[in-house]
Amino acid sequence: MNPDPHRLPSWARRVLEWALPGGVRGASIRGDLGEEWGERPPGPTRTTWLVLEVIRLVFHYRIRPVAGGGGGMGGGTGVWRFALRRMAKDPGFSVLAILTTALGIGATVALFSVVQAVLLDPLPYRSPDDLVAVFEAHRPREISRNVANPGNVAAWRGVRALEGAEAVVLAQPRVVSQPGEPREVMSSIVTPGYLELLGVDLAEGTGFTPAAGAGDGNQVVLTRDGWNELFGGTPGAVGQSVVVNGQSARVVGVLPPTHLPFADGALLLMGMPLEAMGDQTNTGRFLNVVARLAPGSAVDAARLELEGVMAGLREAHPDFNAGWDVEVESLRAVVLGDLQAPLWTLLAAGSLLLLVACVNVANLTLARATERQAEMAVRSALGASGGRLAGQLVVESLLLAGVGGVVGVGLAWVATRVLTPGLLEAFALPRLGDVGLDGSVLAFAAAVTTATGLVFGLAPAWGAVRRGPAETLGAEGRGPSRRTGRLRRGLVVAEVALSVMLLTSAGLLVRSFRTLAAVDTGFEAERVVTGRINLTGERYRGAEPDLLFYADLETRLAALPGVEAFGGVSFLPLDGLGSATSYYPADRPVPPRDQWSVADIRPVVGDYFGAMGIERVAGRTFEATDDADSPRVIVVNRSLAEEAWPGEDPLGRPLAINWSDLEPWTVVGVVDDVVHTGMDQAPRPMVYHTLRQAPYFSFMTLALRTRAGDVAGAVAGLRSAVAAIDPAVPVTRVRAMDDLVRTATARPRMTAFLVTLFAGAAAALAAVGLYGVLAFAVARRVREIGVRMALGARATDVVALVTGQGLRLVALGLVLGLGGAALGSRVFEALLFGITAHDPWAFAAAGALFAVVGTAASVIPALRAVRILPGRALREE
């Protein structure tokens, strides 16, 4: 429980301290509000209530007195009622202003709610700033953020700057056969102290014992999703047993919904002590390490100490550790890493749109203020001070902004709900569960709304203060003062410049996305459907049953008419996971350990290359005769061939691979490079071998190339073929290869899409603003134009006159906007792929697009001007 339930949230206290009178008076009002706050049940309703109360107090104590409350206008709520009446009197203007504001506020608030939940809130762990991630790194090979060896991690634990270090193995599919039907469930192995180190409290159960997975028997902790999946979310899961990959384990805890570093997607955590995971002599690197800094220790101190330990480990295990070092980073940087740039960019784009909206409404308000000059002049002559009139205008703006803000928050609410699934998929956001319009988001919305109202209200208010009644009354009939006209034109130029900046950003992101999407993946995704098979349990002990299974499956699938080719691989391209090891060409002198190169390694079954459409460059691929009794052969990709034997024929060459042994394999074929880790990553050297010659993978991802793109038929055929061999084997993660490629480009697509959306909206607003200014200028010059035409001016002259006026504004805005974009685009250079931040095409496209839009917005009022008949123009006098 909160020790002081009457304590208002800090933002409210701060706002009220500013807004309310000083001394006991203000303090007691705050106290009263706090008491009512404390009496209400916590939740979003209470927060909304508080936000509204605070806004009302701010209006009451800060804005109303400035706007001229008390006497005159009827005082109190009178000034607001008057503003409301004005709003209702001019519904067209009001609706336009409200929608424009709502658009900007909605976009900004929706994105702020995402940024706040993902980037601003602290990570949901105890003292999250003390948490670091420790990696191994191999600088000579340019490998960073590498997983670590358990023996090395055990040595790191002794470091004084660390309070503790725990390890996680990335989630992998395992078959759970109890409770319920056998099925594949993503699970992570963690050291028993992992949850305690993070400070994550369990919803149920006591958690791992220190010897979980060893002396204390197998233990699992379920995540909230795992609890739902395995126990249907019913109580009493703790103490039950589950069977994972044929081994029984006891449930010792259920987690609340939360994010766990390095265990994304895991439904269950399996405890295993570090000591039971092996060491430098018998296993490789596969651990992600989360550590907590000891009180008072800094990241640098930990790094220094760990580097010392690692130097010792290099000496103790030269074969294994040569060239390897440590890397220490804050956990926050690792977890949020590449999310920062796109999310901040989106928020910035949303804010630019809001700015354009503000400028647009300011412009509308100015135009209307001009129409209201007579009213202002009369009121001024009757004794209303300039301040009072300005106050009235500010109140009107605030009212418009307020309504716009409410509508905008509604839009943002819808947007967060509609966009959440897309964002979740595109960004793989670690903590999107928390995104919502909570108190601080609403406070942000209120602040943005107030600022918006002030921004677009101040310009006309300033005009009202500066003009005396005589000036205004004297000027009546001849339209706005020169000053107002200049101000409006300036605002239009600002609008054009801001939207050109947004358009340029959108252009850069779209170009970058298209470059990325056009990357040659090295395979043909069309018509390929994939699904995963995991052969576990008694029946598949040893290698033979697996090989028989796949041989049988291949025969059965070959008989299907719709299947053109079939194959399988341990890890599909672009699917996130992979395995790699070091190698050296065995026909050369053996290089020192720390100079071995690194290659990805994949076992395949069937005609994997045919099914995926990976092109054979030289030699052959695997044949049925390549089995356990024949010579060991491998197929390598082009990158590996070029790296190992530059400029030479790789066929028939021996390659030593640091996998189970160092006996050389013979290269029999070369295939094209395939992007594996990401569309924006260069292909890496790759070794393929057939499962028949090294059968140590229990799971395979199957790929079927269908003949006519009949995906449903192929999936049904695959399922029934697998069921005919062994009904207990599930086919999981059935996906079209197309979808995997789409997912791999989802983030840049989403970013480009949203920024384009904002840019389009901003450009439309700017065009409306430009049109408004020109139309107004034409209306003001009706008489002049009429006289000119009566005296024989041709229509083209008039069009040129008006259009020219518009184009001058467009040109100025274009120059400023493109210049601003050139300065600002560096900010999101990290988001661009294949193009620079000064990509001429993006700049040219944005400039050309707005030139067209701006010309259209200028020509229309010009054409209307021509239609003014001399007679009508003169009659208007």
Partner 1 sequence: MSPSFPGEFEQMVLLAILQQGDGAFALEVRREIEESAGRSVSRGAFYTTLDRLERKGFVRWEERMPRDSRRTAPLRRFEVTAAGLEALRTSRQALETLWRGLDDVLETS
Footprint of partner 1 on this chain (CB under 8 A)?
3-7, 24-25, 27-36, 38, 53, 56-57, 59-61, 76-77
Pick between residue 6 and residue 733 the one whose CB is nearest to partner 1.
6
Q: In terms of C-beta density within 10 A (0-12 exposed, 13-18 middle, 19 or more buried), how is residue 26 classed?
A: middle
Q: Please state the closest distance from residue 64 (CB atom) to partner 1, in A.
A: 8
Helix (H, G, I), strand (E, B) or coil at 23: helix
Hey, what's the torsion of the CAs at 311, 315, 321, 324, to 10 degrees? 30
* Residues 512/835, Cβ–Cβ less than 8 Å: yes
Collapsing DSSP to helix, strand or coil, 1 comes out as coil
Q: Which is nearer to partner 1, 25 or 875 (CB)?
A: 25
Q: 19 or 117: whose CB is closer to partner 1?
A: 19
Taking the complex as a whole, the smallest distance from the CB of residue 32 to partner 1 amounts, in Å, to: 5
Exposed / middle / buried, residue 779 (Cβ in 10 Å: 0-12, 13-18, 19+): middle
Nearer to partner 1, 17 or 338 (CB): 17
Distance CA(112)–CA(437), nearest Å, equals 9
CA distance 524 to 540: 32
The residue (of 28 and 595) whose beta carbon lies closer to partner 1 is: 28
Q: Give least dist CB 67 to partner 1, A.
A: 14
Residue 627's CB is within 10 A of a number of other CB atoms, namely 12
Cβ of residue 8: shortest distance to partner 1, in angstroms?
Answer: 9
Q: Which residues are 727's β-sheet partners?
A: none
78 versus 278: smaller Cβ distance to partner 1: 78
State the nearest-atom distance from the C-beta of 407 to partner 1, in Å: 23
Q: How far is CA 593 from CA 319, 320, 470, 585, 754, in A?
A: 6, 8, 91, 13, 48
Q: Give backbone dihedrals phi and psi of 3, rounded to 5 degrees, phi first.
A: -65, -30
Give the residue with the Cβ less far from partner 1, 61 or 286. Answer: 61
CB 43, min distance to partner 1, A:
20
Helix (H, G, I), strand (E, B) or coil at 20: coil
Torsion angle (degrees, nearest 10) of CA 308, 314, 317, 320: 130
Compute the least distance from the CB of residue 159 to partner 1, in Å: 44
Single-letter amino acid code for the residue at 754: L
Task: Please identify, using beta-carbon distances, which residue of 72 and 433 lies nearer to partner 1.
Answer: 72
CA dihedral of residues 576, 128, 307, 271 (deg, nearest 10) = -60
Min separation Cβ 847 and partner 1, Å: 50
For residue 455, the minimal CB distance to partner 1 (Å) is: 24
What secondary structure does DSSP assign to 409-424, as a single string? HHHHHHHHHHHHHHHH
Report the distance separating Cα 163 and Cα 158, nearest Å: 9
Toward partner 1, which CB reaches closer, 31 or 591?
31
- In the complex, the smallest distance separating the C-beta of residue 22 from partner 1, rounded to whole angstroms, is 13
Nearest distance, CB of residue 34 and partner 1, angstroms: 6
Give the nearer residue to partner 1 in terms of CB position, either 21 or 318. Answer: 21
Say how far apart CA 820 and CA 390 lie, in whole Å: 33
Query: Nearer to partner 1 by C-beta: 33 or 270?
Result: 33
Phi/psi of residue 41, each to 5°? Answer: -70, 135
Q: Which is nearer to partner 1, 5 or 337 (CB)?
A: 5
Number of helices and strands in the chain (H, E): 28, 23
Amino acid at 473: L
Closest to partner 1 by CB, 57 or 464: 57
Return the number of the residue (7 or 588) whose C-beta is nearest partner 1. 7
Q: Give me the torsion for CA of 476, 481, 484, 490, rounded to 10°.
A: 140
Helix (H, G, I), strand (E, B) or coil at 153: helix
Say if residues 519 and 675 touch (Cβ distance below 8 Å). Answer: yes
What are the structure tokens assigned to 59, written together? 């209006």
**Residue 652: exposed, middle, or buried by beta-carbon count in 10 A (0-12, 13-18, 19+)?**
exposed
Nearest to 360 by CA among 744, 7, 803, 767: 767
Report the residue number, 3 or 383, with the smaller CB distance to partner 1: 3
Q: Are 599 and 637 in contact (CB under 8 A)?
A: no
Instruction: Measure the CA–CA gap between 448 and 353, rounded to whole angstroms.
Output: 13
What is the DSSP annotation of 549-601?
A: HHHHHHHHHHT-TTEEEEEEESS-TTSS---EEEEEETTSPPPPGGG-EEEEE
Residue 35 CB, shortest distance to partner 1, in Å, is 6
> Shortest Cβ distance from residue 27 to partner 1 (Å)?
5
Least spacing, CB of residue 61 vs partner 1, in Å:
6
Q: How far is the CB of 56 from partner 1 (least distance, A)?
A: 6
- Least separation in angstroms between residue 51's CB and partner 1 is 14
Torsion (CA) 43, 44, 46, 48 in degrees, nearest 10:
170
Give the nearer residue to partner 1 in terms of CB position, either 69 or 182: 69
